[in-house]
Chain A
Amino acid sequence: SAVISQKPSRDICQRGTSLTIQCQVDSQVTMMFWYRQQPGQSLTLIATANQGSEATYESGFVIDKFPISRPNLTFSTLTVSNMSPEDSSIYLCSVAVTGGETQYFGPGTRLLVL
């Protein structure tokens, strides 16, 4: 398994601003992912964070709105840019361990945009 931490755990932001969420893993992992859970909804994959290259975004998500970095095998950031109230969600980082068959999730970042 892997131990994952996220910062911040929660935040309240004003519309039009940006927030960067950090994800730290206690071991080197092959895959890192970012998900969003909107209120009352399921988890939706935003993108796969690729180490040393541009992230791979899912349909409906774009780099200008959700820029992602992954400078090494244990760390990634997700920025929510030019926020609006519709961005109020829980943002979750997950990882897949080399040779493993499941994903482990961080505790999530609760974002409220006013």
Chain B
Amino acid sequence: DQQVKQNSPSLSVQEGRISILNCDYTNSMFDYFLWYKKYPAEGPTFLISISSIKDKNEDGRFTVFLNKSAKHLSLHIVPSQPGDSAVYFCAASAIRGAQKLVFGQGTRLTINP
């Protein structure tokens, strides 16, 4: 049972445009959500997070939106840069403090010059 789903395995975006990565979850107990970026041969790097008490969190070029009623979150990157090309993982936790993370399958983002 895949509790966190990223239905797009890949996404290609033009440099300078907006990248939107989507994530759906099924477990209503999830309280905290995170996005990680992963380059080949490296561990995941934390990007941004959001608590269930918020519907938006922004950090520079990265914004995460949470729609609790739809059990959906999205990551917006604007403007997209070539260095953003990586695999992006959505993760969720039922316990604040990022314990026991449940990950989605990942979306490979490619930024084209």
| Chain A residues packing against B (C-beta within 8 Å) | 4, 31, 33, 41-45, 48, 58, 92, 94, 96, 100-108, 110
Give bound CA distance, A7 to B58, whole Å: 35
Which listed residue (B42, B96, B100) contacts A107, Cβ 8 A?
B42
Decide: A104 and B46 in contact? CB cutoff 8 A. yes
Say whether chain B's binding surface is mostly helix, strand, loop, or mixed: loop
Give bound CA distance, A92 to B104, whole Å: 16
Residue of A nearest to B91 (CB): A43
Give bound CA distance, A101 to B100, whole Å: 12
Mask, B23-54, CB within 8 Å of A = 1, is 00000000010101000011111100100000
Give bound CA distance, A58 to B34, whole Å: 20
Decide: B98 and A102 in contact? CB cutoff 8 A. yes
CB of B69 within 8 Å of the partner chain: no
Minimum CB–CB distance from A6 to chain B (whole Å) comes to 8
Give bound CA distance, A103 to B47, whole Å: 11
Give bound CA distance, A33 to B97, whole Å: 13
Say whether chain A's binding surface is mostly helix, strand, loop, or mixed: strand
Specify which chain B residues have a CB less than 8 angstroms from the CB of A103 in the assembled complex: 34, 46, 98, 101
Chain B interface category by residue count? 20 to 34
Residue of A nearest to B4 (CB): A42
Decide: B100 and A105 in contact? CB cutoff 8 A. no
Minimum CB–CB distance from B66 to chain A (whole Å) comes to 15
Known contacts: A96-B98, A100-B97. The answer to whether A43 contacts B32 by CB under 8 A is no
- Residue of B44, B49, B99 ringed by the most chain A CB atoms within 10 A: B44
Known contacts: A42-B103, A42-B105, A43-B103. The answer to whether A105 contacts B98 by CB under 8 A is no
Residue of A nearest to B47 (CB): A102
